[in-house]
Amino acid sequence: MLRLYNPNSGEHFYTADPSERDSLVALGWRDEGIGWIAPKESNTPVYRVYNPNAGDHHYTTNLDEKNSLVGLGWQDEGIGWYSAEKEGFAVFRQYNPNAKAGSHNYTPDVDEAIALVTMYHWRDEDVAWLASGY
């Protein structure tokens, strides 16, 4: 999974598509390289939704969460990638209640997750899904 950062909004964006990454880099996003490795398929999809009002993406394995956000006006962008099954590396989710965009961060890096929670007062939302590597 490719990880990008928008220095204007503070949003991190994740995609499996190198063409999508290249388009965003051309628009000023920073390419942060590989965030983790996702399996090509599994029984656990990671859904991608977009809030056109805030310019923010959200990613979740929870179908009810995805459908709730779509009901609130978020755009359903389908399956972004898949989670590993039982054996994998945790990808942690943190939430910044003060951000208008980029309010969630996803990382397999335990130190990054801990720093956001302890130093910058983000909320720990536990494991979002599993990576097959990173």
Rounded to two decimals, the pTM is: 0.93
Quick one: pLDDT at residue 93? 98
Q: What is the mean pLDDT of residues 41-59?
A: 95
How big, in percent rounded to 5, are the helix, strand and coil portions of the chain? 20, 40, 40
Quick one: pLDDT at residue 133? 83
Whole-Å CA distances, 9 to 4, 47, 118? 12, 22, 22
Q: What is the mean pLDDT of residues 91-99?
A: 94
pLDDT range class, residue 127, cuts 50, 70, 90: very high
